[in-house]
Amino acid sequence: MVRTKRKRIINSVLTYGILGLALIWTIFPIYWMVKSSLSLNSEMYVARPNLFSKVITFDHYIDLFFNTTFLHSIWNSLIVASITTVICLTIGVLGAYAMTRLSYPGRNLFRSSIIVSYLMPTAVLFVPMYVFISSLGFYDSKYALLIIYPTFVVPYCCYMLISYFKAIPYALEEAALIDGCNRLQTLWYIVIPIALPGIAVVATFAFTMAWNEYLYAMIMTTSNAQKTATVAISAFKFADSAIWGRIMSASVVCSLPVTILYIAAQSLLISGKYEGSVK
């Protein structure tokens, strides 16, 4: 009895110890980013910076907002990521539904090619993409990214939504079809409400993928008026020197929209599950 209790205590201590180390490992970079954005340059540019700031300052944020065009870059990223999410989610829902519910020649081939197109490295495609966008006359335009981003976001949306749609009993759709609904009505009134938690997850990750993308945005946008947030942050580094105050404060600001989206998606996941089950 004593040995069992001691073993249980040791297991609990080891479990919580490992979880605590994993939490520190995950949270510390975020803490250091926020801490550095609020630190003086005299505390930041030292060989051994302190773990806690002695003086808190907002000078880096003031410099970022009033001496740079970073807020405009944030706006560009919001436009590109939001429109990309809506377009890709719409195509992904229709494509995933067609691949799980409709019968047509080549369905298995299309389903298998999705993961291949998603795993295609961007380093292989950015040269033909650059030539294609330049021939269309969209070079140095944030709207060129709306043509490029769906090439890797749509396959992700389709691949993820296929598994969600497969889990929905087809008997529900058959009952709706018997009652007179067509395929689109069945998708809108039956499938989407039930799969709303999964759609929310896919939408969140699709927005994050478009928001964090750097390579295509760096190649396709050069002027400050068209740069996205990720490219604008990299512009604060010059050769071997970097303006760490701007970089850290810009990183904090850039992480806020995605953080807010994840928090909002959590409530949608809970509410969507019950709404779908009722409908």
Q: What is the mean pLDDT of residues 87-97?
A: 92
At 228 the pLDDT is 93
Which residues does 69 contact at the CB level (< 8 Å), separation at least 6?
A: 224, 225, 227, 232
- Lowest average pLDDT, out of 59-68, 77-86, 102-111, 204-213, goes to 102-111
Instruction: Answer with the residue of higher pLDDT: 42 or 146.
Output: 146
CA 160 to chain centre: 14
DSSP assignment of 220-258: H--STTT--HHHHHHTTEETTEE-HHHHHHHHHHHHHHH
Q: What is the mean pLDDT of residues 148-170?
A: 89
> What's the CA gap between 117 and 153, in Å, rounded?
10
104 pLDDT above the threshold of 80 = no
Cα-based distances in Å from 108 to 88, 149, 184: 21, 24, 22
Instruction: Answer with the residue of higher pLDDT: 197 or 271.
Output: 197
270 pLDDT above the threshold of 70 = no
Q: What is the mean pLDDT of residues 11-19?
A: 90
Cα–Cα–Cα angle for 268, 210, 198, rounded to 5 degrees: 30
Q: What is the mean pLDDT of residues 22-41?
A: 91
254 pLDDT above the threshold of 60 = yes
Quick check: helix, strand or coil at residue 154? helix
Mean pLDDT estimate for the chain: 86
Asked whether the beta carbons of 175 and 116 are under 8 A apart, the reply is: no
**Run of H or E including 60:** helix 59-67
Asked whether the beta carbons of 76 and 229 are under 8 A apart, the reply is: yes
DSSP state of 262: H
Counts of helices then strands in the chain (DSSP H, E): 15, 2
